Amino acid sequence: TTITTQGDILYRDGSGLQRLAAGTASQVLQTGGAGANPSWTTMSSDMVKIGSTDITSSTASVIFQHGTNGVVIDNTYRTYMLRCSGFQPTAQGENVRMRVGVGGSMRSSGYITEAHRSYYSGGTDRGNDSSNIINFRGGAEDSVHGEINCVINFSDMADATTKTSAIGMGVLFDGSDSSTSQANQGTCGGIYGTAEANDTIQIYMGSGNIAKGQFTLYGFK
């Protein structure tokens, strides 16, 4: 007679059996420790998955924009992390590039960006860019024998008084239409030279489109 409704939980308090009614969706059961009653609570996390896109056909770019498809890029989070995996260009030997912007209007100049790489045959090189906040060195194969995997952290996105910066590491697997023969691995760091509150991130290729890939954005409080 104590539990009466689907989802009820039976527990004992200081005097006897008691009913804990179901909480709301996504809540978790929390103990208060010895001598306390259990309760439902909303899980809080300093790392939150903000959005994810799975590309399966040729697409010009992937965009995460505040207010679109539930994406939050504002002062809720101090840092953002973008994970890109298993994706390929439609054009042979192309690399991945990224820009930031406001309200979907991307900034195409005014960056200070530096990249380094080492590659499988034993060489190294570097390069700079003023058109992208991230521009990895080296390219990737446009078939099943190549792909790009990278992780990028964005800082000060929503701070109108601070310049947005980004740092990333990645590997671009290159080759021919018959085999994988090259691994281009390296780092890239960049900053947008004007202090403003950016709320948009764009991922695209140097030439051609994105053939496929998984792109996930996380926020860190």
In this prediction, residue 120 carries a pLDDT of 84
In angstroms, what CA-CA distances link 74 with 43, 155, 197? Answer: 21, 11, 8
Q: Summarize the confidence of residues 63-89 as an average pLDDT.
A: 94
Distance CA 17, CA 3 (A): 9
d(CA 70, CA 49): 11
What is the number of other CB atoms lying within 10 angstroms of the CB of residue 65? Answer: 17
> Are 82 and 201 spatial neighbours (Cβ–Cβ below 8 Å)?
yes
Average pLDDT estimate for 118-145: 92
Tens of pLDDT, residues 43-68:
777 889 999 999 999 999 999 999 99
Q: Which residue, among 170, 195, 172, 173, has the nearest Cα to 82 in the 3D structure?
A: 170
pLDDT of residue 50: 94
Closest CA to 137 of 90, 91, 97, 92: 97
Encode pLDDT of 150-195 as tens digits.
Answer: 999 999 999 999 999 999 999 999 887 778 888 999 999 999 999 9
To which residue do tokens 């059961």 refer? 29
Cα 88 to Cα 60, 97, 202, 219, distances in angstroms: 12, 13, 16, 25
- CA 158 to CA 100: how far, in whole Å? 11
pLDDT confidence bin for 90, thresholds 50/70/90: very high
Per the CB < 8 A criterion, the answer to whether 86 and 214 are in contact is yes
Task: Kindly report whether the global pTM for this prediction surpasses the value 0.85.
Answer: no
Q: Average pLDDT of the chain?
A: 93
Give pLDDT tens digits for 8-47: 999 999 999 999 999 988 789 999 899 999 999 987 778 8
pLDDT at residue 217 greater than cutoff 90: yes
Q: What is the pLDDT of residue 113?
A: 98
